Amino acid sequence: MTKKEDKKRLGRGLEAIFGNDVTALLDEIQEGSDGKRQVEININDIRPNPFQPRKQFDEKSLKELSDSIKEHGIFTALIVRKSFQGYEIIAGERRWRAAKIAKLATVPCVVYEFTDAQMMEISILENIQREDLNPIEEAMAYKNLMDKLDYTQEKLAKRVGKTREYCANILRLLNLPKSVQDLVINKKLTMSHVRPLLALDNEEMIYDIALKIIDEKMSVRQVEKLVKELDPSKALVKKKEKEIDPELKYVEELLEKKLQTNVNVDKKQVVIKYNDVNDLNRILDILGIIE
C-alpha cells in the first residue's frame, strides 16, 4: 500500500477504513512498511495508547518476548502517531513493553495520522479480534464504544462481529461489584460463573457467593442452582442508594473520560482506580506529574 493510498484510505469514514477486520488492516500496514517507511524512534519518546482497553499484560509472556527481541530484534514495526509530546502507540504495545524490558534504546515504527476516534476504535477492535481481552476489559471496551462513539447495541454487535445478545450479556458484567469483577480479571472466575450472580442485588451476598464458588470449585450448573434456591427476601434486598450530587457526578465523568479509568468523587475525596504500576504511570503521565 503506497503512501498516497494510505492517505486516501485514512481520509474516509471509520467503517470504510477498518471494514470488518481491523487486524487485517494493521497487518497490511506493518507488512507493507519497507525500510523507507520505517523510522527508528527513541523508546522513551513513545507512550502507551491512552485508549488501550487491555489493562493486564502477562509478565511471563512479556519476558519471553523480551528474550526473543534481545536475540532476534523486532521483526514487525510498531504503528504510532505523533502526539503533543513524542508518539503514542496505535498497535504494538506488547512489543514496546518487551523492548523496554530488553533495554532497547530505539524501536522500529511506522508513523500514521489517526484521530482520537479512529485510534480508539482501532485499539478496541484489534484487541477484541485478537481475543486479547478478559471479559471485564471487553465489557469496558464495548461501553467505551457506546459512550464515546455513540454506538447502539445493534451497531456494536455488527462492528465487533458478535450477536446482540452476547454484547448485552457481557455489558451486564459491569453491574457486578468491583470486587467480583476483579476475580474475573484475575481468572479466578469465568464469565459463565458470575452471570447467574447478576440476579442478586445484595453486593455483600454476591461477593460471598463468588468466594464460595472458588473455595468449593463449583460448576456453572451448581451456581445457577444455588442462586435459584436463595431466599428472595434475603437475596434481593437492595442497598439504599446514596444521594448523588449531579455536579460531582459530572466531575467524575469528566475525570473518567480524561483518565480512561474508574473514578469516584464525593465531597471529601477523589478516588482514582488503577490496575498495576504501568497503569498508574499512564495516569500520572496524563496528569503531567511524571517525567
Domain coverage including residue 27: 3-132
63 plus 121 within the same structural domain: yes
Q: How many domains, in total, are found in the chain?
A: 4
- The C-alpha cell at 45 is 519518546
Q: Are residues 230 and 251 in the same domain?
A: no
Selecting among 5, 28, 88, 93, the annotated active-site residue is 93
59 carries an active-site annotation = no
User: Coil, helix or strand for 61?
Assistant: helix
Domain boundary among 175, 193, 208: 175
Whether 9 and 125 map to the same domain: the answer is: yes
174-178, 227-231, 270-274: which has the minimum mean pLDDT?
Answer: 227-231
Per-residue burial over 169-183, b = 16 or more CB atoms within 10 Å of its CB, e = otherwise = bbbebeebbeebbeb
User: Which CATH number covers residue 73?
Assistant: 3.90.1530.30
d(CA 115, CA 120): 9
The count of other CB atoms within 10 Å of the CB of residue 231 is 8
Which has more confidence, 240 or 266?
A: 266
pLDDT beyond 60 at 239: no
Q: How confident is the model at residue 8 (pLDDT cuts 50, 70, 90)?
A: very low
Query: What percentage of residues in the chain have a pLDDT greater than 90?
Result: 16
Share of the chain above pLDDT 70, in %: 78
**Same domain as 104, residue 7:** yes
Please answer whether residues 209 and 176 qualify as being in contact, where contact means their C-beta atoms are separated by less than 8 angstroms.
Answer: no
Pair 39, 109 in one domain: yes
- Is residue 28 located within the same domain as residue 100? yes
The amino acid at 168: A
Task: Average the pLDDT over 264-269 and give the result.
Answer: 79
The reply to whether 21 and 96 lie within a common domain is yes
Q: Are residues 128 and 102 in the same domain?
A: yes
Residues 101 and 191 in one domain: no
Same domain, 198 and 157: no
Boundary (domain end) residue, out of 202, 217, 239? 239
* CB 237, CB 230: distance < 8 Å: no
Q: How many residues does the chain have?
A: 291
**Residue recorded with cell 482514582:** 272
Residue 148 has a CB neighbour count (10 Å cut-off) of 16
Residue 266 to residue 249: CA distance in whole angstroms: 8
95 versus 115: which is more confidently predicted?
95
C-alpha cell at 237: 434486598
What's the 3-state SS for 81-129? Answer: EECCCCEEEEECHHHHHHHHHCCCCEEEEEECCCCHHHHHHHHHHHHHH
Least confident of 5-14, 91-100, 130-139, 184-193: 5-14
Same domain, 218 and 261: no
Same domain, residue pair 206 and 276: no
Burial of 203 (0-12, 13-18, 19+ CB in 10 A): middle
Contact 141, 56 (CB under 8 A): no
Query: Is the pTM of the predicted complex or chain greater than 0.85?
Result: no
Closest CA to 88 of 125, 115, 128: 115
Which amino acid is present at 215?
D
Judge contact between 141 and 133, C-beta under 8 A. Answer: yes
pLDDT at residue 23, rounded to an integer:
54
